[in-house]
Amino acid sequence: MYDPMVDALAAPDTPPSTGSLISALIRVTDRLSQVVAEETDALKVPRFADVQRLGPEKSKLAANYDTMARALGQRPQHEIKADPEVALRLADAVRRLDGAARANAEALRVQMAANRQILDLIAKTAATAAKPNFSYGGQRLGHGIRAQYAAPPVAINRVF
């Protein structure tokens, strides 16, 4: 799960060493990749409770990742590349995150398109049901002349 030490390294009282910053960035990147992959799986099956549960952790990890990556970018290159094994681990972690983020973006796009189609169908159905389809005084909805223009009750799930 979430590593509280990462928060301390993301907003330190004193600047951490480059090595500890890289190690923390690798941990954040790995966990962010896991959270994004879990969210992608939840989007494919539409388990919205899981998507909502992962949101706060994903946001916090993304903010920490951004803070740490910026801090690392301000360090001299020779410090970053001092340990080739750690630099390689970081590059692998970033590649995994990139793959997970791309899959997540596609799953989000598909889910949003599906939600849009559902909302469009609901709106079209409600608009069609509210239109009169008669001539000279017939009734469509309810009773009386005003009822013919009343839209039927439509409930839209809060997820959409």
Domains and CATH numbers, the chain: 4-149 (1.20.58)
pLDDT at 96: 93
pLDDT at 8: 56
pLDDT at 159: 47
pLDDT at 160: 45
Rg (CA), the chain: 26
Q: What is the largest CA-CA distance in the chain?
A: 86
| Tokens 């009169």, residue located | 132
State the 10-residue block means of pLDDT for the chain, 160 residues long: 55 71 89 89 77 86 91 86 88 93 90 87 80 54 51 51
Q: Note if the pTM is more than 0.75.
A: no
pLDDT at 42: 83
Of the candidates 6, 133, 130, 22, the residue with the CA atom closest to the CA atom of residue 71: 22
